[in-house]
């Protein structure tokens, strides 16, 4: 009989890279910061990747104050060379790589296909899709040589339920592509014992969203569950997919949306 994994410290001995690990826009924690903090609480050594040092350092300070181990890696994950440097720094500092959480995303503007400019399409593809590709192409060989690992890509419910009224075709397309990337990678690297899964966040309230002055009450009432989605909800989902408890799980797309995708009409 296989022993049940130790749920007290589910990521003990693991090294994790979290891109977009800083919190943008104010107090509280974003999705990437929450995942990084939860990983550290569960025993992982965490590499905090962000384009802004102050944002990543804020996450690092939380982890270190709680007795965890993390370091900041400043990088533009749309740049392949900088992604290679992050992976090599992780291996040099911590001795290996077991988890990659591709959390970077953005570029929600642009409008419909007849309105969006070339730069809107390129920006969305670069930020939402190529960032995950760039990090993964350098992480996979290190995971393979270490016996396997877990890669978690972050998409959006927008991939399945686009915002109405010409909101952002480039964003929807790029987030849909993240789902396809996840499934292709899951098959391509299954024999390497590398699991690849996708989280599809719903209307999550984060400091970054608050800074954009989005109506908070609308988000609360847009889901069947009478609770507000927070960055921690994404962090806990990422923990499961990163842990050995998900050893037989690969290629899935997990909505964390309070039931938003179950409702019949866009909000």
- In the chain, % of residues over pLDDT 90: 77
Is 240 in the active site?
A: no
Provide the pLDDT for residue 5: 46
Please say whether the beta carbons of 127 and 105 come within 8 A. yes
Provide the pLDDT for residue 1: 35
Provide the pLDDT for residue 165: 54
**Whether this model's pTM surpasses 0.75:** yes
CB contact set of 50 (below 8 Å; sequence gap of 6+): 19, 20, 21, 22, 32, 56, 72, 74, 75
Average pLDDT over residues 16-42: 90
> 57: pLDDT confidence band, cut at 50, 70 and 90?
very high
Average pLDDT over residues 109-134: 92
Domain 15-252 has CATH 2.60.40.420: no
Point out the catalytic residue in the list 39, 55, 94, 171. Answer: 171
Average pLDDT over residues 62-84: 97
> 25: pLDDT confidence band, cut at 50, 70 and 90?
low
Among 87-101, 150-164, 200-214, 248-262, where is mean pLDDT lowest? 200-214
Domain positions in the chain are 15-252
Provide the pLDDT for residue 3: 40
Provide the pLDDT for residue 4: 42
Average pLDDT over residues 164-172: 79
Provide the pLDDT for residue 221: 76
Q: How far is CA 178 from CA 27, 71, 160, 257, in A?
A: 29, 27, 12, 17
Among 98-112, 140-154, 160-174, where is mean pLDDT lowest? 160-174
d(CA 112, CA 167): 7
Average pLDDT over the chain reads: 90
With vertex at residue 44, the alpha carbon angle to CA 127 and CA 179, rounded to the nearest 5 degrees, is 35
Average pLDDT over residues 244-262: 96
User: Tens of pLDDT along 8-19?
Assistant: 689 999 999 999
Q: How many helices (H) and strands (E) does the chain have?
A: 9, 9
Between the two ends of the chain, the Cα-to-Cα distance in Å is: 48
Average pLDDT over residues 9-33: 89
User: Tens of pLDDT along 179-224?
Assistant: 999 999 999 999 999 999 999 999 888 877 765 555 677 777 788 9
Provide the pLDDT for residue 2: 41
Among 101-110, 212-221, 252-261, where is mean pLDDT lowest? 212-221
Provide the pLDDT for residue 195: 98
Provide the pLDDT for residue 54: 92
Among 27-31, 81-85, 99-103, where is mean pLDDT lowest? 27-31
């Amino acid at each position: 009989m296989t022993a049940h994994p130790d749920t007290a410290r589910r990521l003990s001995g693991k090294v994790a890279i979290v891109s977009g690990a800083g919190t943008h826009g104010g107090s509280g924690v974003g999705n990437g910061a929450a995942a990084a903090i939860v990983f550290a609480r569960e025993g992982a050594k965490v590499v905090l990747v962000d384009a802004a040092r102050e944002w990543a350092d804020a996450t690092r300070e939380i982890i270190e104050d709680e007795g965890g181990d993390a370091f900041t890696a400043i990088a533009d994950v749309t740049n392949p060379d900088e992604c290679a440097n992050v992976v090599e720094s992780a291996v040099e500092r911590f001795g290996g790589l077991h988890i990659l959480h591709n959390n970077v995303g953005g570029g929600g503007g642009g409008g419909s296909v007849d309105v969006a400019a070339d730069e809107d399409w390129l920006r969305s593809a670069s930020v939402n899709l190529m960032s995950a590709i760039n990090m993964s192409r350098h992480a996979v060989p290190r995971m393979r040589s270490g016996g396997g690992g877990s890669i978690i890509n972050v998409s959006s419910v927008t991939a399945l339920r686009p915002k109405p009224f010409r909101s952002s075709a480039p964003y929807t397309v790029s987030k849909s592509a993240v789902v396809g990337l996840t499934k292709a990678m899951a098959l391509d690297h299954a024999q390497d014992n590398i699991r690849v899964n996708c989280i599809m966040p719903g209307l999550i309230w984060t400091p970054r969203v608050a800074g954009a002055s989005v109506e908070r009450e609308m988000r609360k009432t847009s889901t069947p569950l009478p609770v507000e989605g927070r960055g921690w909800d994404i962090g806990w989902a990422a923990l499961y997919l990163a842990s050995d408890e998900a050893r037989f799980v690969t290629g899935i797309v997990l909505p964390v949306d309070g039931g938003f995708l179950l409702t019949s009409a866009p909000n």
